[in-house]
Amino acid sequence: MPQTLSTSVDRRALLANGGTLLAAWLGCNSILAPSGARAADEPAPVSLSGLKGHAPTPLPAIDFTDEGGAARHLADWRGRIVILNLWATWCQPCVAEMPALSRLAARLSATGDIAVLPVSVDRGGAATVRRFYKARAIAGLPVLCDPQMQIPTALREEGVPLSLLVDRQGREVLRIVGPVRWDEAGAEDRIRRLASGA
């Protein structure tokens, strides 16, 4: 199993109540935390420039649903580089990370060779994500959902945000637990280099 790059802050997410991911990861909950605030124990976003990938690793089947409830599969994006980001509206580091992810997706839309797939694990599904995007003026990101938390289980991860960089062959080349500065200068080039093993 590939080594997970994580922030130094302890992850305390718990699986309980039939698979519900509790908002215990760093004690974050967007309902309780003010918008834009960062708790003292909340991890700072990491820079892509300092990250190193790992050897390409096959992934299990990763399935989720789109805004209309249709089944989608990570394999649908084979041939493109994919940023798969697992997040939740109740997780403050996720909430703080989403605008940067949205800005990156906007910059990448012209090339089309890198897909940004933010998959929400909120139990409320697409309706919850749509409300969040509207309230936070998040544009350019698809509404994708995994309310049964099948992806974290398949990846053996409990914390969010969780990001995987997937190469054009559908293999994981980088795993990051914690927020990322997705919109920093040079992010696109760094993503391409990581995906190519550089």
Q: What is the pLDDT of residue 109?
A: 87
Task: Name 46's bridge partners.
Answer: 180
- CA-wise closest residue to 191 among 116, 94, 102, 92: 116
Beta strands in 2-127, from DSSP E residues, in sequence order: 5-6, 15-16, 20-21, 57-58, 63-65, 71-73, 81-87, 114-120
- CA-wise closest residue to 121 among 152, 96, 95: 152
Task: Report how far residue 179's alpha carbon sits from residue 19's, in angstroms, rounded to the nearest whole number.
Answer: 23
Superfamily of domain 57-196: Glutaredoxin (3.40.30.10)
Task: Report how far residue 63's alpha carbon sits from residue 74's, in angstroms, rounded to the nearest whole number.
Answer: 6
Q: What is the pLDDT of residue 41?
A: 64
Report whether 87 contacts 120 (CB < 8 A): yes
Question: Tokens 């990051």 sit at which residue?
Answer: 176
Per-residue pLDDT of the chain (198 residues; tens, 9 = 90+): 454 554 333 333 323 222 333 333 333 333 233 344 445 567 789 999 989 999 999 999 999 999 999 999 999 999 999 999 999 999 999 999 999 999 999 999 888 899 999 999 999 999 999 999 999 999 999 999 999 999 999 999 988 999 999 999 999 999 999 999 999 999 999 999 999 986
- CA-wise closest residue to 150 among 3, 6, 21, 2: 21
Phi, psi (degrees; rounded to nearest 5) at 133: -60, -45
Task: Report how far residue 89's alpha carbon sits from residue 131's, in angstroms, rounded to the nearest whole number.
Answer: 10
Name the packing angle between helices 187-195 and 92-108 (round to 10°): 90
SS3 assignment, position 176:
strand
Q: What is the pLDDT of residue 187?
A: 95
Contacts of 193 (CB under 8 A, 6+ apart): none
Task: Name 118's bridge partners.
Answer: 85
Q: Domain ranges for the chain, please list them.
A: 57-196
Kindly report the length of the chain. 198
- CA-wise closest residue to 177 among 3, 6, 28, 2: 6
